[in-house]
Structure 1
């Protein structure tokens, strides 16, 4: 599956870049994220609780960032396993661009899945992934935008 999109964040490119590289911001913005911590090799280990249709699971995974271009973008490789629910892999390119009113964050991502997740069907999984992305960007916008002060943690989402 492929996901593409863009989101305008009402903040400078410098601030958006800083927050995209901040583990605490990521943990607050990822729906269902119980853990997000840096490991020795520079990547991150994460635990995310997510529901896809009738399947709810606790996914343990990793994320690695590469091809950093300061203030412009990077590539993310990630993967996780939810036990009997199955597994998923993700690759994404993120690019920032100055626009009127802030910074546009463009992304192109590809995802693969296996196990019960693959049996559910790509239409349902795609809908859940799009909802997850929308929630991430909503939280990110609230944390980073010029309208918010970014000092308070976000309330957990009602999963």
Structure 2
């Protein structure tokens, strides 16, 4: 299964680059991630719990970053074994391009599964893989720039300050 999409992130390319290398951001963005340890240089060990159709599994595996091009892009790869459920592996080629004060993040995801989960059928697997990729990059965008405009207005009303700027937690952390 291959999927290509893009997102416009309201942050400069340097902020987006630092965020995608940050293990805390990765852990928060990987759906079902229970544990992530390691470094961008050596790779990460991860434990991810997922339910695909009727099959639930806890995948133990590795996440690696390769083809690092600072401020331009990289490749994120992951591979995990879920015991009797089978295995899952995939990669995402991610590129960044400045668009004014924002960054256009483009990604191409390639995913494969085997074992019991592969028996669920390609339509279910393809839709699940698309859902996971979308969730990862939605969470990544939110971590960098904060909630969407509608959510910002809702939060501002709750806070009683309609002009309050809501930044993503990573952007607040690095002072972006």
- The answer to whether the 8 A contact 2:2-2:111 is kept is yes
- The answer to whether the 8 A contact 1:39-1:45 is kept is no
TM-score, normalised to structure 1's length?
A: 0.87
Candidates 154, 165, 168, aligned match of 1:150? 168
SS of aligned partner of 2:124: helix
User: Which residue does the alignment assign to 1:22?
Assistant: 22
CA distance in 2, matches of 1:40, 1:69: 13
Structure having the higher helix fraction is 2
User: Which residue does the alignment assign to 1:71?
Assistant: 71
Q: Larger C-alpha radius of gyration, 1 or 2? A: 2
SS of aligned partner of 1:138: helix
- 5 Å matches for 1:70-149? 70-100=70-100, 102-145=102-145, 148-149=166-167
How many pairs does the alignment contain? 152
SS of aligned partner of 2:42: coil
SS of aligned partner of 1:149: coil
Residue 39 of structure 1, CA deviation: 6.0
TM-score, normalised to structure 2's length?
A: 0.79
CA distance in 2, matches of 1:148, 1:37: 29
User: Which residue does the alignment assign to 1:4?
Assistant: 4
Aligned-residue Cα RMSD (Å) equals: 2.0
Q: 1:10 to 1:42 in 2, by over 3 A?
A: same
SS of aligned partner of 1:71: coil
Q: Which runs of 4+ in 1 moved over 2 A?
A: 146-152
- Comparing both chains, which one has the higher relative contact order based on Cα–Cα distances under 8 Å and sequence gaps of 6 or more? 1
Unmatched tracts of structure 2, length 5 or more: 147-164, 171-176
Q: 1:40 to 1:66 in 2, by over 3 A?
A: closer
